[in-house]
Amino acid sequence: MKFKSLFVALLLTAPLGLQAQEIALQLYSLRNEMKIDPVKYHEMIAEWGINALEGGGGYGMTEAEYAKLLKDNKLKIIGVGADYNKLKSDPAGIVAEAKKYGAKYATCYWIPHTEGPISMADMKAATELFNKAGAMFAKEGITLTYHPHGYEFADSGSGTPMDYMLENAKDFQFNLDVYWVKMGGGDPLAIMKAHPGKFPQLHLKDRKKGTPGSADGHGDVETNVVLGTGDIDIKGLIEEAKKQKTKYLVIEDESSRSVEQIPVSAAFIRTVLDQ
């Protein structure tokens, strides 16, 4: 696929409207590029028409330098990470990190557990922790979200660990990574429809057709493809996000082709939003 020509074609055909949804980028997508030239790649993100970022960290700059880089490119950090162990030992530190950037979301990306599918016991403990920390975060104006990673979908006969968490999430919400839900054997669109209002963020990531699933949260990053070209119903998910008023549609592309693919994926999202 000639990504550049497709990107240009999509931009030319996509109407320019205003949506309640905002396209964001998970900066992990450019983890390798940022090691080389963070200034260049922050400028490139702005050129792609993306202004909202998940990440933070500063890439070796001082707080003042990084704040200036963001401001100069009209970029904002909307979400930071919330390490599971830090949620237990220092939740106030996560709140402080979010506030430093003006971020309103903090996402836990992984629950420590024995390799393979997570046990129901571990999921119940995580749900309890997230409810406790989430209630504390809410008082500070921060929403705690959990990002499923594919190991939550083993069916015990009475439902999956993910079912339990979704049903018992009282003081936290979800940053639904649709690729990892699919990898684990779940249906991201069905989950959204069954639990409306729990998804202020979506990680939109498409999967190469023919990719086998994974129950342990691991997989080949090169199976991340341009949105709308894989085996996940990205269009349907965006349409549901519009109905549910999901705030951020977050592109995460972990492949070695991310620089080429991200702007094409962003253009695809815009075409669906404007329909």
- pLDDT average, residue stretch 164-175: 98
Instruction: Name the E strands within the chain.
Output: 22-26, 52-54, 76-81, 105-108, 143-146, 173-177, 201-204, 206-207, 224-225, 248-251
Give the pLDDT of residue 159: 94
User: What would the two tokens of residue 217 be?
Assistant: 């949260």
- Asked if pLDDT for residue 199 goes beyond 70, the answer is yes
Element (H, E) at 166: helix 161-168
- Asked if pLDDT for residue 244 goes beyond 70, the answer is yes
Tell me the C-alpha to C-alpha distance, in Å, between residue 238 and each of 98, 148, 245, 253.
26, 18, 10, 17
- Asked if pLDDT for residue 3 goes beyond 60, the answer is no
- Asked if pLDDT for residue 157 goes beyond 90, the answer is no
Give the pLDDT of residue 224: 98
Give the pLDDT of residue 11: 46
Tell me the C-alpha to C-alpha distance, in Å, between residue 177 and each of 5, 17, 197.
28, 26, 16
How do beta strands 248-251 and 224-225 pair? unpaired
Under CATH, what is the fold of the domain 20-273?
A: TIM Barrel (3.20.20)
Report the predicted TM-score, pTM, of the whole model to 2 decimal places: 0.92
Q: With cut-offs at 50, 70 and 90, classify the pLDDT of residue 56.
A: confident
- Asked if pLDDT for residue 220 goes beyond 70, the answer is yes
Please give the share of the chain, as a percent, with pLDDT higher than 90: 91
- pLDDT average, residue stretch 188-217: 98
- Asked if pLDDT for residue 9 goes beyond 50, the answer is no
- pLDDT average, residue stretch 58-68: 96
Q: What is the CA radius of gyration of the chain?
A: 18
Contact 165, 126 (CB under 8 A): yes
Indicate the residue type of 240.
Answer: E
Q: With cut-offs at 50, 70 and 90, classify the pLDDT of residue 234.
A: very high
For the chain, which residues make up each domain, given as ranges?
Answer: 20-273
- Asked if pLDDT for residue 235 goes beyond 60, the answer is yes
Give the pLDDT of residue 218: 97
Give the pLDDT of residue 226: 98
4 by Cβ neighbours in 10 Å (0-12 / 13-18 / 19+) ranks as exposed
- pLDDT average, residue stretch 192-198: 98
The Cα–Cα gap between 130 and 165 comes to 10
Give the pLDDT of residue 19: 58
